Structure 1
């Protein structure tokens, strides 16, 4: 007498669990991909003293595996911060970086921006060549 109801509930449960399992298996792992714009923004915020230590650690300590050049820039920025930066200085009304560190970070930022611009120009040039 209750067998049809039991089978209906079992079928609905199996359908729901199977659907959830299929969605979980087919969906990819979320990935954070650091782009040059992220590093440029990070450097700007360091130079403006509007960055928290947690925000720095979240971006600057995350390895960039898809681009060796960007990872080198990230590692250089970490060395600069280790040598010349102190987040505790902001609480005393001073800059995160000392003068030498700020100068080096500005140079690193300008270099990254020029490299990014050059890479974009090359990509545009290649795309226009393909269109011909």
Structure 2
């Protein structure tokens, strides 16, 4: 009888501890920041990014920053219009030449916007 009681208490502690741990943990969240998009744009322009990388960042909405969401939508439009994922799979570039020009413009715009925001924060 004592063995059953000890086993019951041990199981109760393990289950109770596991439940307390699960309740205390928060849900992990991923926030896309401007730096993440700039790094991706650079990788695409240097012929180093894959379609999977692109879809992981550009394929999901950005809800915490409306201007960054607009950049993401513009990047998605560029991919829809000028994307060549079949060439990226063979070692080529993810975008056509015109798409790379548009992405360069978008990257420069985002980088300048980041500099302006950093200047505002420093004052």
CA offset digits 1:69-118 (Å, max 9, x no partner): 11110110010011012122245665332222111110110111111121
Q: Which moved more, 1:31-40 or 1:81-90?
A: 81-90
Give the SS at the match of 1:107.
Answer: helix
Change (3 A) 1:53 1:92: closer
Q: CA RMSD in A?
A: 1.5
The normalised TM-score by structure 2 is 0.91
Residue 3 of structure 2 corresponds to: 5
Residue 75 of structure 1 corresponds to: 73
Correspondent of 2:53 among 55, 64, 80? 55
Which ranges of structure 1 fall in alignment gaps of 5 or more residues?
126-132
Q: Which moved more, 1:90-99 or 1:5-14?
A: 90-99
Aligned partners of 1:61, 1:93: CA distance in 2, in Å?
Answer: 22
Correspondent of 1:84 among 75, 82, 85? 82
Residue 45 of structure 1 corresponds to: 43
Q: CA deviation at 1:39?
A: 0.3
Aligned partners of 2:91, 2:25: CA distance in 1, in Å?
Answer: 47
Aligned length: 123
Residue 35 of structure 1 corresponds to: 33
Which ranges of structure 2 fall in alignment gaps of 5 or more residues?
none
The normalised TM-score by structure 1 is 0.85
CA offset digits 1:42-70 (Å, max 9, x no partner): 10111111111111111110111111111
Aligned partners of 1:18, 1:93: CA distance in 2, in Å?
Answer: 52
